[in-house]
Amino acid sequence: MARARKVIVTCAVTGSIHTPSMSPHLPVSPQEIAEAAIGAAQAGASVVHLHARDPVDGRPTQDPALFAQFLPAIMQACDVVINITTGGAATMTIEERLQPALRFAPEVASLNMGSMNFGLYPMLARYPELRHDWERSYLEGSVDRIFKNTFQDIERILTSCSRNGTRFEIECYDIGHLYTAAHFLERGVLQAPLFIQGVFGILGGIGAHPEDVAHMKRTADRLFGDDYVFSVLGAGRNQMPVATQSLLMGGHARVGLEDSLWDAPGQLARSNAQQVQRIRALVESLSLEVATPDETRQLLKLKGR
């Protein structure tokens, strides 16, 4: 009997998109982030994608001192692959965004493949009451804010992190981002296999229609052939439908409270682990298997812990 295909499940524990007022279940303090990441790993995630937040008001931060408060606890408790953001937030400089990945040299770091409009302001209509002053201005400001990732920025992140043996979660919010990744692969700045994370449903990027997902996969197949691993994340209510389509197309999936606060229509997810459990059940219902951290390391050719 043929062995079941292994599926990499990434859990994005807490990010810069959702603000603390939107869900009481969003981890904010270092202890909460550590507990959430460990819970996700125990539920079956083989990769945890990590941001940090100011424990006082939940503001996104790339302060390495805060990462240092939760990374050791996660690594001591489980063998999960650590993935540190270099995206941070669109309001940060490249210097700020790079600090944690350079200091901690993780197995994986995330990297956005292009500058883009990143429209968060529609959330204001759904969440009129916000707890902290920075949350409203952060969302309102996205109507006139560009998330800057120039070719120079991308190359700087790739070359500086690669010196530490870090590989990349290549976040592609549109088809052009795949071509940018192909450009850096052709130049030898990126090394195969690429871990392509298609991002669907963010205002300013590609939509979450099944044809959008299929188009992203077809284009990646043509550009990279066997030299890449395809994964997806769907924003908000698109999380599980997009993940399901990826599994059916032979791909992998990312879930977590960074990408969606919801478990069902009108029902907030209580934890990252809950979302991992849901995608794991889906994986296993398709006669597939969730990859272990070591199997993930092998698939992505990571350096190990």
Q: Give tens-digit pLDDT for 284-300.
A: 999 999 999 999 999 99
Q: Answer whether 0.95 is exceeded by the pTM.
A: yes
Q: Residue 142 pLDDT > 70, yes or no? A: yes
* Residue 214 covered by a domain: yes
Task: Give CA–CA dist 233/207, Å, rounded.
Answer: 11
Task: Give CA–CA dist 258/135, Å, rounded.
Answer: 15
Closest CA to 13 of 272, 269, 232, 278: 272
- 126 in Cβ contact with 115 (< 8 Å): no
Residue 15: pLDDT band (50, 70, 90) is very high
* Residue 1 covered by a domain: no
Number of compact structural domains in the chain? 1
* Residue 305 covered by a domain: no
Task: Give CA–CA dist 161/159, Å, rounded.
Answer: 6
The CATH number given to whatever domain includes residue 280 is: 3.20.20.70
Range of the domain at 140: 6-300
Q: In the numeric block, which tokens belong to residue 241?
A: 């439908």
* Residue 226 covered by a domain: yes
* Residue 278 covered by a domain: yes
Residue 145: pLDDT band (50, 70, 90) is very high
The pLDDT of 130-139, averaged and rounded, is: 93
* Residue 227 covered by a domain: yes
pLDDT at residue 41 in the model: 98
* Residue 234 covered by a domain: yes
Q: What helix, strand, coil percent values describe the chain, rounded to 5?
A: 45, 20, 35
Residue 128: pLDDT band (50, 70, 90) is confident
Q: Report pLDDT digits (tens) over 89-105.
A: 999 999 999 999 999 99
Task: Give CA–CA dist 284/300, Å, rounded.
Answer: 21
Q: Report pLDDT digits (tens) over 217-240.
A: 999 999 999 999 999 999 999 999
* Residue 187 covered by a domain: yes
Beta strands in 237-288 (DSSP E): 252-255, 262-264, 267-268
